[in-house]
Amino acid sequence: MSLFFILTRSVFMKIAILGGTGALGKGLASRWIKANHEVLIGSRDLVKAQEVALELGLPKSSAYLNIDAAAHCEIACITVPFAHQETTLLSIEDKLADKILIDATVPLVPPKVMRVQLPKEGSAALKAQALLGEGTIVVSAFQNISAELLQTDKEIDCDVLVAGDFLEARTTVIGLVEDAGLKGWHAGPLCNSVAAEALTSILIAINKKHSLQHSGIKITGI
């Protein structure tokens, strides 16, 4: 795969959030808006996308169907539930060609969300890469962050593991992690996304057993 994406991140980026009407999508959108990025709210329901755009202080023109948000962005982030990941990605056809897709999908399979249940591709991020092909660079991130906290101004005491096959793409995403007020770490190639995705079920189990709400991960030894 050739490195066709922009290697150095511009100060402000046009970011499409595919599934931007959900809790995680709204949380990331609010953080990136505060960092002065241009955010496009994507959804399969345009009216709902417009409602969320207005809720976030954006004009209705910032709301798109997923396929149009993907077409107009510089970089995209998918934040849909695992059950809708495949249909969402297939619906955008080739609109993410020559772009980075941040995949925040966690392969939770209700009702047993405390049990790690990875797809046959190995991870949701690897599945996304297989669906989109080599024309898009998939980078895995944001699986272990509380969507509820992202929608607030609170400092989030949690780190983000960023996995992807290209150093420059991971670096771009880590910049956006920092713009969301978080600490990002290079976590190696995309196949390592399996660890971050699996950790979500473990954190859900920890929350339930220990009566916590927003457990997360931190890298020590700094």
Q: What percent of the chain has pLDDT over 70?
A: 95
pLDDT band at 6 (very low <50, low <70, confident <90, very high): very low
**pLDDT of 29 higher than 80:** yes
List of residues 6+ apart from 67 with CB closer than 8 A: 91, 92, 93, 95
pLDDT tens-digit readout, 181-219? 999 999 999 999 999 999 999 999 998 999 988 999 999
Calculate mean pLDDT across residues 34-38. 96
Tokens 């969507």, residue? 147
Q: How confident is the model at residue 9 (pLDDT cuts 50, 70, 90)?
A: low
Q: What is the pTM of this model?
A: 0.93
Amino acid letter, 18: L
How far apart CA 93 and CA 96 sit, in angstroms, is 8
Domains of the chain, earliest start first: 14-209 (3.40.50.720)
**Residue from 32, 26, 19, 29 nearest 181 by CA:** 32
User: For the segment 105-119, what is each residue's pLDDT rounded down to a tens digit?
Assistant: 999 888 998 999 999
